């Protein structure tokens, strides 16, 4: 953290001058342990916040200008817009995320009276699937809430951040990323019912077990991927199912209920998409129960089954994520491994017994580079808390 804060303050001094009156904030990234592509299908998810995330220094201005700078994208320089003219502009790149939050806050009556100068610094690898965009969104919501003394709770911040991604950016995402970041707690995973937003914190204290995040180093962009197509396929499948039964969502169905009506879905590919949504939700419910009972072996088997379903039924893994997961399954000490996030690149997550962590990273890394042609990156993750003002 100290190095990140030093980097942030140095950048502020270079871009905006004296940092004496700038407030400093942090919002985490997240990793989803199981429950992928279920959040927009009315199912359950099981993420946790991380100690890596996004830092920001912010200062309220006396005019209506918003000035954004990212240490991660110095080539873009300072990007400026007015509170009176906030619009999505492709050329503004990453700043569309904080702009979207400002816009969605204003729609709900939280209109910023003044602009801000904000410098961001992310320690989440860009395009990794660990929710750098959602981290920026929730962080921005926290900055504005604090700067203007608004009474906005964390769940509302998550919903506003999700709306920014959906309405302003155009990625039809579920609530998981923003919720996990806004509501994160140290040493806790969040068992979240995305249909109702009811949630439970489940202790994630893993003695002698490490969470190892494996980054394919293949960049992905959600808006450019098949994400919206998969969502549409699930919605179409649900409409077909509703010709026979009144199902509020795919996540509301058991495996048996789904199989009884699967023949209403006209194409095999659409059936497989829906099957994943139903079966993955049930896996997630069982995984949360396994963790409550301390049955890590059962949890690991469910992680492996999740990846196979994402590979075969949902088709969102690709050769890079498959290479990581399959190499991890063969490595000694690995309890379970699966892709995490939207897929099409990004990261996989594994649970590894502590004494085998280094050998697992060497073995999986070697197999991956041999198969794919370039190296993966590995991070031993720690479970962190939600957004916070640091100074």
Is residue 223 over pLDDT 60? no
Q: Are 309 and 37 in contact (CB under 8 A)?
A: no
271-289 tens-digit pLDDT: 999 999 999 999 999 999 9
Q: Sign of the CA dihedral 150, 151, 156, 158?
A: positive
Candidates 325, 303, 228, 242; CA nearest to 273 is 228
Residue 177 among the catalytic residues: yes
Start-to-end Cα distance in the chain: 13
**pLDDT, mean of residues 208-220:** 90
pLDDT of residue 181: 98
Is the pLDDT assigned to residue 342 strictly greater than 90? no
Strand ordering across the sheet containing 23-32: 79-82, 65-70, 116-122, 47-60, 23-32, 388-389
The neighbouring-strand residues paired with 214 are 348, 378
* Domain 2-203 class in CATH: alpha beta
User: Residues of the chain with pLDDT > 70: what percent?
Assistant: 98
Neighbours of 78 (CB within 10 A): 13
- Please say if the pLDDT value at position 224 is more than 80: no
- Taking the C-alpha atoms of residue 266 and residue 70, their distance in angstroms, rounded to an integer, is 47
How far does Cα 206 stand from its chain's mean position?
22
Please pick, among 177, 193, 313, 322, the residue that the annotation labels catalytic.
Answer: 177
**Parallel, antiparallel or unpaired: strands 65-70 and 209-215:** unpaired
pTM confidence score? 0.93
Taking residue 162's Cβ as centre, other Cβ atoms within 10 Å add up to 24
Across 161-175, 224-238, 241-255, 327-341, least confident range: 224-238
Give the mean pLDDT of 66-72: 97
For the chain, the farthest-separated pair of C-alpha atoms sits apart, in whole angstroms, at 66
> What single-letter DSSP state applies at residue 332?
T
* Predicted local confidence at residue 18, as pLDDT: 78
Instruction: Give the whole-number percent of the chain exceeding pLDDT 90.
Output: 89
Choose among 139, 159, 157, 149: nearest CA to 97.
139
Is the pLDDT confidence value at 236 over 80? yes
């Amino acid at each position: 953290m100290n190095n990140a804060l030093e980097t942030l303050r140095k950048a502020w001094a270079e871009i905006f001058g004296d940092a004496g009156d700038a407030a400093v904030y942090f919002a985490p990234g997240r990793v989803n342990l199981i429950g992928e592509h279920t959040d927009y299908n009315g199912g359950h998810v099981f993420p946790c916040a991380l100690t890596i995330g996004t830092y920001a220094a912010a200062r309220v201005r006396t005019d209506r200008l918003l000035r954004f700078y990212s240490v991660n994208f110095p080539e873009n320089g300072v990007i400026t817009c007015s509170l009176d003219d906030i619009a999505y502009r492709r050329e503004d790149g990453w700043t569309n995320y904080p702009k979207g939050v400002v816009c969605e806050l204003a729609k709900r009556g939280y209109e910023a009276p003044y602009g801000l100068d904000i410098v961001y610094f992310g320690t989440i690898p860009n395009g990794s699937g660990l929710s750098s965009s959602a981290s920026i969104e929730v962080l921005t919501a926290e900055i504005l809430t604090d700067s203007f003394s608004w009474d906005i709770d964390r769940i509302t911040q998550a919903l506003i951040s999700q709306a920014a991604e959906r309405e302003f950016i155009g990625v039809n995402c579920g609530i998981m990323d923003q919720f996990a970041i806004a509501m994160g707690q140290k040493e806790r995973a969040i068992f979240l019912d995305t249909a109702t937003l009811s949630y439970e914190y489940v202790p994630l204290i893993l003695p002698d077990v490490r969470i190892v995040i494996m980054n394919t180093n293949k960049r992905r962009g959600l808006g450019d991927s098949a994400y919206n197509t998969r969502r549409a396929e699930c919605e179409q499948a649900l409409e077909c199912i509703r010709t026979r039964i009144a199902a509020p969502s795919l996540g509301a169905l058991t495996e048996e209920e789904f199989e009884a009506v699967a023949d209403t879905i006209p194409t095999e590919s659409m059936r497989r998409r829906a099957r994943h949504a139903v079966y993955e939700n049930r896996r997630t419910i069982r995984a949360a129960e396994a963790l409550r009972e301390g049955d890590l072996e059962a949890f690991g088997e469910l992680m492996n089954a999740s990846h196979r379903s994402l590979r075969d039924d949902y088709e969102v893994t690709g050769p890079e994520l498959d290479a990581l997961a399959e190499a991890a399954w063969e490595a000694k000490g690995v309890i379970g491994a699966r892709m995490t996030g939207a897929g099409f690149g990004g990261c996989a997550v594994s649970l590894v017994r502590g004494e085998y962590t280094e050998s697992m990273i060497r073995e999986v890394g070697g197999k991956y580079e041999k198969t794919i042609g370039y190296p993966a990156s590995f991070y031993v993750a720690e479970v962190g808390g939600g957004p916070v003002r640091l100074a």
